[in-house]
Each structure stands twice: as C-alpha cells, then as structure tokens.
Amino acid sequence: MKVLVTGAAGFIGHHVCRRLAETQRAEVLGVDNLNDYYPVALKRARLALLAPYETFRFVQADFADATAFDGIYNHFRPDYVIHLGAQAGVRYSLQNPAAYVHSNLVGFANVLEAVRRHPPRHTLFASSSSVYGTGARVPFREDDITHQPLSFYAATKQANEVMGYSYSRLYGLNLTGLRFFTVYGPWGRPDMTPVMFARAICAGETIKLYNEGRYLRDFTYVDDVVDGLLKVLLYPPAEPPVPPFRLFNLGHNRPIEMRLFVEMLESMLGKKAAVELLPPQPTEMVETCADLTKIHAAVGYAPRVPLEEGLRRFVAWFREYYQFPA
C-alpha cells in the first residue's frame, strides 16, 4: 500500500514512518517543510534514521503551498493519508497566531482538497486533547463540548475537526481525527514538557510549575500512539456512519500530577530539580484524561507502556542525544 505522511520529520510523524517502513508492506512518502520552530538539526536527525529504509522517500515541501502539495499528491496517488503536519504548541499560539493560520487552517484545507479530488481509502488527521475546553468533563469523551477552546492552537484544531466533517459529509470521504493526549518519548520536541524539564534538571536551571504543580496530564507513550493510529488507519469508517467521519481519543487514561512527574524525572536523572511554583495559566486545562471507550470498541486499542517504563526509554534517548552523561 502507498501511504503519504505529512509532518514526517516531526516527533510523531517520524515514529509513524519508521513503523510503516519497518513492515516493508508499505511504500511511504514523507512530506515536511523543515521549518525552524525548533532546531532543524533534530528533524534532520530523525530523517537520517529513516533514510536506510528502501520503502521510505522524503520530499521537503510545505503542504500549505497548494501548488506544490497538489503536484506531490497527484504524482504519488496514495492509498492512505496520515496528516500529522501542523504548527504545534499552545503557548506559542499567543505569540505567532499567523503561523497557525498558515499551517493548521490553510494547510489543512489544501490537504482536504487534494483528498477530495483523488480520494484515498482513508485519511487520518491529527487533532489534540486541547480541543476540550472549559465545557469538558473528566475523563474527556469524544461527544463533549469543544466550542470553548482555551488557546488559539486549540481553536485551529477544533476548526480542523469541523472542516473534516464537512468534507466527509459533502464528498463521502473516509476521514478520522485523532485527539492526541500529551505524547512523549524518544525524539520528542524540545518545547515539550519532558525535554524541557530534563534539560533544566541536568543544567541546574529552574523548572516553572504552573498551578503549583497540581495540573494533571495524561502522558501517552509514542509507541502506544503509533499502535493506535495504525490500527485506526486500516479500518476506515464502515457504513453507517453517514457521513463516514469519526473522532477518537488517543491517550493513556492515567493522568499524573506534574509535581510527581518532576519527581520521577529527578529519580531517573539522579539529580534534584530547582522548582518554582506559579499560579495557573489561562491557556491550560487543570486536568486531561482520555476516555478510551470508543477507540477500544472500534479497533481494540489499549495503551501498554506505563509511564515509568516510557520515561526510562525517554531518559536513555535524552542522555544520548543531548550528551548528558549519567
């Protein structure tokens, strides 16, 4: 099968491409613009791990450039599309909202148009647990209210879900959105909590814990995310529903307090953290927790990697890549 993956040099995209390439049953085309939101060297290092696979090819392009993306898509004609490319980051959306309009709105519209003109068997796209705003109740269910986002990033992801629904309804496209919950693991982004906190601990810098460290987050190991994503990919929406559109939570269902998360990192890194306790942030939810009932019933998804094991794997990668000795 032929699979097109956007955001292939990103954190989750890299792991998805690697898993697909390892099976040798899929021809994978990765697309990424390699922007400088965080160091491009990390993205190139991820791509270097994919280069040896004969079934993987990479094209540097911006899917928000309709002409460029259409040319790539029409030439490859994928059987499946996994759209993971996006401008990430909740707090950065306060500083540079135009980047989110460009990638998350214009870019996603381009992907939908390409899919409409030459429909694949199934298209997955990345949403986020951030869509659950002030109206959501823990654990978060896919039918909860999502029209009260706490950040502009969340607003663009909620818009993606509405855009996807409309295209599915109008054109009969098999579309599934996945709401990721705090994904972590090796090759994670440097602006994400595990890398930020680990670097601060090793460098003796202060960690800022908002809401006095009482925020709870549903950390989900990247291998579990890839497992769930690929299971969903191979099972497009069946009739019904009409339209053939679905949304699934993809999380761990075991939230942990951020204070305890820091203590676990301290133990594994062998060094005490300097911590500053701060008030809550207006863009942050008090707790995230995925209700997995729907995705388990659909494809049998159940996370397998406990946080302790996932963090051990993350710390081993972190020490090697950033050259922090034990």
Rounded CA separation 182/295 (Å): 17
pLDDT attached to residue 222:
98
Q: Which residues of the chain have pLDDT under 50?
A: none
**pLDDT tens digits along 243-262:** 899 999 999 999 999 999 99
Q: What is the 3-state secondary structure (H, E, C) of 98-163?
A: HHHHHHHHHHHHHHHHHHHHCCCCEEEEEEEHHHCCCCCCCCECCCCCCCCCCCHHHHHHHHHHHH
pLDDT attached to residue 233:
97
pLDDT attached to residue 313:
98
Domains, in order of start, for the chain: 2-181+221-250 (3.40.50.720), 193-217+253-289+305-322 (3.90.25.10)
Q: What is the average pLDDT score of the chain?
A: 96
pLDDT attached to residue 72:
98
pLDDT attached to residue 24:
78
pLDDT attached to residue 283:
83
**pLDDT tens digits along 218-234:** 999 999 999 999 999 99
pLDDT attached to residue 158:
97
pLDDT attached to residue 54:
95
The catalytically annotated residue of 92, 153, 167, 221 is 153
The closest alpha carbon to 90, from 151, 161, 160, 131, belongs to 151
Residue 153 appears among annotated catalytic residues:
yes
Q: CB neighbours of 212 closer than 8 A, spacing ≥ 6?
A: 259, 277, 278, 279
